[in-house]
Structure 1
Amino acid sequence: MKKLFLAIAVLFSLSKANAQNKSGILTQYYAVKDALISGNSSAASTAANAFVKAVADEATANKSIAAAKDKLVAEAQQIASAKDIAQQREQFKQFSTDMYDLAKSTKLSEQPVYQQYCPMKKASWLSNSSAVKNPYFGNQMLTCGKVADTIQ
């Protein structure tokens, strides 16, 4: 009987952890964003390549992701192939717009997803935190921006 309760508790905790972060693509998107914040072009390329793999894995199980797959993969590949941080940040603009559209139509996380906006760049991005950390300017203007929308 104790083994049964233990097994149920383990399954419950695993399903709860999985439900909080339902999407590997959102995790990989955040990794691209974080690399751009830190100004690390190589890490941004690596994270964008991981995003491409995550989209391929999730597209078979989710129709919304499958519908957006081609655009998101192309945008992530542009970020991955660009070796200059300025080019990667420019490509990130459309990538973020399309990720926002996907996040609005498909629940990618049990946690809130914040759309943040930089008025200097006239561009948005997604974050798992309400604290603004700007991927378009990094350390130059780290806190430039505001929360524009919260996806629950």
Structure 2
Amino acid sequence: MKNSKITTGILSIAIATFTISCKDAKQDLNKDQENHSEMNHERTNEHQDADKKEMAMYTNQSGDAEIVLKDYFNLKDALVGDNNEKAKELGVTLAESFKNLDVSKYTDAQQTELKEIIEDAVEHAEHISDSDIKHQREHFKTLSKDVTDLVTITGTTNILYEQFCPMYDGGSTWLSMNKEVRNPYYGSSMLKCGKIQREIN
């Protein structure tokens, strides 16, 4: 009988301790979940803020020229990466961005020039959308000149670098947002061939 009381007493203490431990663990778990939720919320907000900044930079409500630049740089990066299929997709995207460019806010003379640039650029972007990579790079050369001429009229909110490759087709230029040379005409075969020719801002 005495042993039975002792055993019952020990069991009662064990159950009480276990119950308290579980409650503490549950409280700790709830705190961890709240903290984790807050951290995720903060990360989500940071991510959304970054997206909003990028969207603000490339807003296209009136055919903003910055959208054309963004799509041009994406195309350039696809060629740098020797990615023929991605370049085809981006050729279509860039052609549409050029077509949507609103020229109404410019002078009559600028509008005339911009319309000529757009017509030529759309043609080259469309060729890129259905060509092999060698042919894409040939069209990219002229397209780069069109985009440079466009920026001369529209200006840009970013510092751009006109880069030059002396090896490709007697010398060819392209625009980049980075000082580091990444050659779209040769891709991985001569990735760093070229130099900064001038800064545009």
Q: Does 1:31 align with 2:74?
A: yes
Q: How does 1:2-151 map to 2 (within 5 A)?
A: 17-18=56-57, 23-61=66-104, 63=111, 65-82=114-131, 84-107=132-155, 109-121=156-168, 122-151=171-200
Unmatched segments (≥5 aa) in structure 2: 1-48, 106-110
Unmatched segments (≥5 aa) in structure 1: 1-9
Give the CA RMSD over aligned residues: 2.5
Following the alignment from structure 1 to structure 2, what is the Cα–Cα distance between the partners of residues 18 and 86?
A: 32
Q: Which moved more, 1:57-66 or 1:72-81?
A: 57-66
Bigger Rg, structure 1 or 2: 2
Question: What is the count of residue pairs matched by the alignment?
Answer: 139
TM-score of the pair, normalised by structure 2: 0.62
| Pairwise CA distance, 1:19 | 7.3
Question: Which stretches of structure 1, 4 residues or more, deviate above 6 A after TM superposition?
Answer: none
> Is residue 65–residue 101 contact of structure 2 (8 Å, CA) maintained in 1?
no
Following the alignment from structure 2 to structure 1, what is the Cα–Cα distance between the partners of residues 58 and 72?
A: 18
**Bigger proportion of residues as helix:** 2
> Is residue 59–residue 65 contact of structure 1 (8 Å, CA) maintained in 2?
no
